[in-house]
Structure 1
Amino acid sequence: MKQTNKTIVTIAIFVATFMTAVEGTIVTTAMPTIVGSLHGIEIMNWVFSIYLLTNAMLTPIYGKLADKVGRKPIFILGTAIFIIGSALCGVSNTMMTLIISRAIQGIGAGAMMPVALTILADLYDAEKRAKMLGLNSTAWGVASVVGPLAGGFIVDTIGWHWIFFINVPIGLLLIGMILIFLVEPVRGQETKKMDFLGSFFLMLTLLSLLLAFQYLSDVGFQWSVGALLLLAVVALTAFVAVEKKAEDPVISLELFKNHLFVVVNVVAALASGFLMGVEVYIPMWMQGVLGLSAGIGGLVLAPLSILWVWGSSLASNWMRTKNIHWVLSISLLIVFVGGTGLFLVPTQTPFALFFLITAVTGIGMGATTVTSTIVSQNSVSSSQLGMATSFNTLVRTIGQTVMVSVFGITLNMVTSERLEQAALTSDPDIMNKLVNPQTAKLLSEDLLLSLRSVLYQGLHVVYGFAVLLILFALIFTQTLRKKHATID
């Protein structure tokens, strides 16, 4: 009987992770050129947000399907949809068609990441899985470096359309690798009906919730945001009612009776929210407060990606000998140290010190992420593995989406208030000019120093909130019973 080729399938998963991870950074780099070509700067943000939105909406559905019909067909389906979306993005000739094509891309990507992690769980035991997840997470770090470089090169040489077209041959190669080298056991005939009504209410809940925070970030709290949040509550209530009666629920409510499963997923959401504060606002600190170039500003995040792998490896070793309460607590404490460092450092902190801070944060985040993923998978039966993995991926996305909006609103409120108090300038675009190294050069020295102080105060408050997230995660972790077993 033919066996799965672990090495080739694992490489395919790493490539899939890299391809979905690089999509964000490469598009960000090309966006000024795309806007110049297609016009429509006023709806530019939707090129990013619609991808995340459709991705999040479909993630739990794919997870359930992976449990019902198998990982292989769902991963291939998601990759095929991603390829189609990429090709349509490449041939788009208006911003609206690009946004619609990005929505299709996101629908495909919603299957690729969680199902890939589920395949890893099928292939490796808990100890080896921790190491593989650590290696897999480096794809995100590599993408953060390669994406901007590749995006700039492609745009300057063969045109922005090819940042999307390049996904087509890679995606086809992925499908071939999984089709040929992943061998799944034959599943019995599925007799339970798919929970379509529950799936609908779950997607409606996620759509209204994530749209609400997108609008909140764009226009502040208006009636439309309130209406969307109310719709999310109503849809969630309906979802719970449907799942209680469903023969085969898309997300089993029994999972939430498992205290360990609930804790690790709450921790995953809070830690992912914290991570957005680091990844989005450290480069802003480098450029706006220290006056460094964009390239150097982004470089300071490199230790986070590199040390993430070591943190994952540490967690895999700890989980063999220590209980889950201990492993999560230590992992979060390391993150807390890094976050507190960001909160406490003064305005003119030496550039090198940020390397130390992001290195510590990377170790803690690597350990926290791999622990929450593995414990989430191991706390359920094998028949619910896809569901548990996709739910873990989903809560991370929700944590990131919500906290990006909250951090953005916080920064805008604090900087606007400080500018008004100091009566520095009447220019509403002044903070954007500050964080752009090219336009910052045009500001007077006195104004530049004052604005940097204002930005520092705003970032200081953002990091205060970010540290609170980790503090809440630590407190929540203490509700775990210390008898929870090690991962063998």
Structure 2
Amino acid sequence: MERQTNIKLVTLGVFTATFMTAIEGTIVSTAMPTIVGSLEGMEIMNWVFSIYLLTNAMLTPIYGKLADKIGRKPVFLIGITVFIIGSSFCGLAPNMLTLIIARAIQGIGAGAVMPVALTIIADIYPMEQRAKILGLNSAAWGVASVFGPLAGGFIVDTIGWHWIFFINVPIGLALLALISVYLVEPKRKSSNQPMDLLGSGLLMLVLLTLLLSFQMIGEGGFSLNILLFLALTIIFCLLFVRTEKRAADPVISLHLFKNKTFMLVNLVAALISGFLMGIEVYIPMWLQGVLGTSAGLGGLALAPMSILWMIGSFYASSLMGKTTVKNVLVLGLSIILIGGLSLTIVPVQTPVFLFFVISSILGIGFGLTITTTTVTAQNSVSSDEVGVATSFNTLSRTIGQTVMISIFGVLLNAAMAVNLKNSSLDVDSSVMNQLVNPHTAHQIPAKLLQPLRTILYSGLHSVFLTGIVLVVAALSMVLFLQRKKAQTVLK
């Protein structure tokens, strides 16, 4: 009798792998002050986070192509193995530079986990069930955002910061065993066409220069170096397109860019993911800097969004079977718009509970929208391109987040600088850093607190107003979608 995939155990493995990579960001953030104290190197500390995201994004489309070419299982196992190796090196790092290199290796492995996990879900679940499973998978991110800081603090205080990385090793090894034994893939026809190495290399250079340029914008504003990196991005992009036109088996088939549905849902995903980053970063900043709450409460305000995201995904599952993709996205984006507009009209001294309400509204909208764009991207291509389509969707969201978090940072700093200059306060701009940190805000003279909080409030408004523009742009794009039910989208 032919062996079959154990769907329940493989799904458990996919959820665990997603959680393992999702928690890296929050757990490392919590441990970073201790790590810096141990390894020193504060001036290059940001690269511990940036390099992980950069290598993750660069390899995502390559893994997607490999998943279609050689199978989901080997690519997923390779990604987890590299992630385990990177985690081990992180735990053993004797200095900050070594830790950054190890984090780059970790990111290379993590780049396979999310897109291939979503592709495995697409393989083992029919469309009508897929949105529910994607919702549960998304819940792993929500749990990680709440559990990560708690786990990070506990591990650092008890067995030491090294174990925030070492703990990935036994989990990763268990995942290797689980997926190896219980995921059974049909044999694929061997292809004589070689991997598109030149196209893969050029695509990685496009992503490297693009993401680095926006990283530098976020850190120090515009400069000549940024223009140079953006120019290189355009050159590499043109070379990539030229190479893909000639490639026998391109890493990303250019015909996908002619698929109207595929491109529109990915653009929507990129815009909404950009707005999502603004929510995740600046709602906690509002609570801590404007209302003076603790960091824990600031992070907790996002918990309802994670929970309601899952419910929104479940609702998307039933709606996609009854109505058109266009209608589902209009509903989801309209709910996000209501939540976003709420953030632009509430006053300075907004009660904390209102942020929990707004977070809940946004969670439903994000669950509906992100899940629908993912399922539609998968369903709008042929079955032999699902891996590439899923990785491209993941990449679109990553690029949207990276670009917008840099732009939001520039907007916030510019708005605060202008308002500080126009105020009668005799303070340096560095006082705003002191204000948003709950541990140092109490050092600011009481008479300055309220004026500074008003300045921060105005800066945050510029961020959320820009977020509204993103949502409106996404809504405008959805209007160009054809009115087809999800099941009738070409596959």
TM-score range, shorter chain: over 0.9
> What CA distance in whole angstroms lies between the structure 2 residues aligned with 1:442 and 1:246?
62
2:212 alignment partner AA: L
Structure 1 unaligned segments of length 5 or more: list them: none
* Offset of residue 436 of structure 1: 1.1
* Offset of residue 426 of structure 1: 3.1
Could you tell me which residue of structure 2 aligns to residue 85 of structure 1?
A: 86
> What CA distance in whole angstroms lies between the structure 1 residues aligned with 2:329 and 2:66?
30
Q: Does 2:63 match 1:62?
A: yes
Q: What are the superposed Cα offsets for residues 127-175 of structure 1, whole Å, 9 maximum, x if unpaired?
A: 1110000000000000011100000000001110000000001001001
Could you tell me which residue of structure 1 aligns to residue 383 of structure 2?
A: 382
* Offset of residue 46 of structure 1: 0.4
Could you tell me which residue of structure 2 aligns to residue 219 of structure 1?
A: 220
> What CA distance in whole angstroms lies between the structure 1 residues aligned with 2:42 and 2:118?
36
Could you tell me which residue of structure 2 aligns to residue 17 of structure 1?
A: 18
SS at match of 2:400: helix
Aligned residues: 487
SS at match of 2:321: helix
> What CA distance in whole angstroms lies between the structure 2 residues aligned with 1:343 and 1:487?
37
Could you tell me which residue of structure 1 aligns to residue 465 of structure 2?
A: 464
Superposition map of 1:259-338 within 5 A? 259-338=260-339
Structure 2 unaligned segments of length 5 or more: list them: none
> What CA distance in whole angstroms lies between the structure 1 residues aligned with 2:351 and 2:238?
50
Superposition map of 1:151-162 within 5 A? 151-162=152-163
Could you tell me which residue of structure 1 aligns to residue 43 of structure 2?
A: 42
> What CA distance in whole angstroms lies between the structure 2 residues aligned with 1:487 and 1:416?
51
Could you tell me which residue of structure 2 aligns to residue 411 of structure 1?
A: 412
* Offset of residue 437 of structure 1: 1.4
Q: What are the superposed Cα offsets for residues 351-376 of structure 1, whole Å, 9 maximum, x if unpaired?
A: 11111111000000001011000000
Could you tell me which residue of structure 1 aligns to residue 184 of structure 2?
A: 183
* Offset of residue 124 of structure 1: 0.1
Q: CA RMSD in A?
A: 0.8
Q: What are the superposed Cα offsets for residues 55-96 of structure 1, whole Å, 9 maximum, x if unpaired?
A: 000000000000000000000000000000000000001110
* Offset of residue 36 of structure 1: 0.7
> What CA distance in whole angstroms lies between the structure 1 residues aligned with 2:486 and 2:299?
37
SS at match of 1:394: helix
> What CA distance in whole angstroms lies between the structure 2 residues aligned with 1:111 and 1:88?
19
SS at match of 2:486: coil
> What CA distance in whole angstroms lies between the structure 2 residues aligned with 1:8 and 1:266?
33
* Offset of residue 222 of structure 1: 1.1
SS at match of 1:155: helix
* Offset of residue 297 of structure 1: 1.1
> What CA distance in whole angstroms lies between the structure 2 residues aligned with 1:357 and 1:129?
27
Could you tell me which residue of structure 2 aligns to residue 129 of structure 1?
A: 130
> What CA distance in whole angstroms lies between the structure 2 residues aligned with 1:98 and 1:438?
27
* Offset of residue 37 of structure 1: 0.6
Q: What are the superposed Cα offsets for residues 225-279 of structure 1, whole Å, 9 maximum, x if unpaired?
A: 1111000000001001111111111001111111000110000000000000100
Q: What are the superposed Cα offsets for residues 279-330 of structure 1, whole Å, 9 maximum, x if unpaired?
A: 0000000000001011111111111000001100111111001011111111
Could you tell me which residue of structure 2 aligns to residue 209 of structure 1?
A: 210
1:485 alignment partner AA: K
Could you tell me which residue of structure 1 aligns to residue 106 of structure 2?
A: 105
Percent identity between the two aligned chains: 60
* Offset of residue 439 of structure 1: 1.3
Segment of structure 1 superposing worse, 425-434 or 211-220: 425-434
* Offset of residue 427 of structure 1: 2.5
Answer whether contact 2:322 2:485 (CA < 8 A) is retained: no
* Offset of residue 125 of structure 1: 0.4
> What CA distance in whole angstroms lies between the structure 2 residues aligned with 1:254 and 1:86?
38
> What CA distance in whole angstroms lies between the structure 2 residues aligned with 1:178 and 1:459?
44
Q: Does 2:259 match 1:240?
A: no
* Offset of residue 486 of structure 1: 3.0
> What CA distance in whole angstroms lies between the structure 1 residues aligned with 2:485 and 2:111?
32
SS at match of 2:309: helix
Could you tell me which residue of structure 1 aligns to residue 53 of structure 2?
A: 52
* Offset of residue 424 of structure 1: 1.4
* Offset of residue 123 of structure 1: 0.3
* Offset of residue 192 of structure 1: 1.2
* Offset of residue 441 of structure 1: 1.2
Could you tell me which residue of structure 1 aligns to residue 144 of structure 2?
A: 143
Could you tell me which residue of structure 2 aligns to residue 486 of structure 1?
A: 486
> What CA distance in whole angstroms lies between the structure 2 residues aligned with 1:462 and 1:74?
39
Q: 4+ residue runs of structure 1 moved beyond 3 angstroms?
A: none
